[in-house]
A and B are shown apart, each in its own frame.
Chain A
Amino acid sequence: DQQVKQNSPSLSVQEGRISILNCDYTNSMFDYFLWYKKYPAEGPTFLISISSIKDKNEDGRFTVFLNKSAKHLSLHIVPSQPGDSAVYFCAAGGSNYKLTFGKGTLLTVNP
């Protein structure tokens, strides 16, 4: 049973445009959500997070939105840059819940 789902295995956008990566979860007890970025031959690195008491968290070009009623979160990257090309993983966790990761979305930003 996949509790965290990233339904788009890949996404391609033009440089300068917005990238929107989506993630759905099923466990309503999750109260903390994270996005990780992974380049080839490297381990995933933390990008941005959001607590369930918020619906938005912004850090520079990266914004994460949380819709608890829909059990959906998204990562917006504006403007997208070629260096953003990587695999993005969404993760969810909380008190007494281990971090659970989605399968990832490969983002390609074309110059």
Chain B
Amino acid sequence: GAGVSQSPSNKVTEKGKDVELRCDPISGHTALYWYRQRLGQGLEFLIYFQGNSAPDKSGLPSDRFSAERTGESVSTLTIQRTQQEDSAVYLCASTFSFGTGTQAFFGQGTRLTVV
């Protein structure tokens, strides 16, 4: 596709259930980021993938959160045993690489609501 695609666009889940969010980056982009934005808050970095390097997981808020990416393709963000504080918009972005001139392209986000 022409842009970063995220699915689902909206997800309502019950507290305690697991959820999986998907991100399809722009073809050829080697770097992929996950962020979340809680209501009224800024962008919160979660995890960063760059090619075959070990991902930067420094932003994951707890061990309930994990993410995978196979090569330079799709990434999935999994939240286990969801809590109400996990409610947020989860945003994915991809770039060709990091470095001068790099621009990150964002998807539309997945709005997660934990009830």
Q: Which residues of A contact B (CB under 8 A)?
A: 6, 31-32, 34, 36, 41-46, 49, 51-52, 89, 91, 93-104
Contact = CB atoms under 8 A, between A and B. Distances in A.
Contacts, number: 72
Interface residues on chain B, size class: 20 to 34
Instruction: Name the residue in B31, B42, B91 with the highest tally of chain A Cβ atoms < 10 Å from its Cβ.
Output: B42
21 contacts: A32-B102, A34-B103, A34-B104, A36-B106, A41-B109, A43-B4, A43-B93, A43-B107, A43-B108, A44-B43, A45-B106, A51-B100, A93-B98, A95-B99, A95-B100, A98-B48, A101-B45, A102-B43, A103-B42, A103-B43, A104-B43
A contacts with B: majority SS? strand
A100 B45 contact: yes
B41 A103 contact: yes
Interface of B: 4, 31, 33, 35, 41-43, 45, 48, 50, 56, 91, 93, 95, 98-109, 111
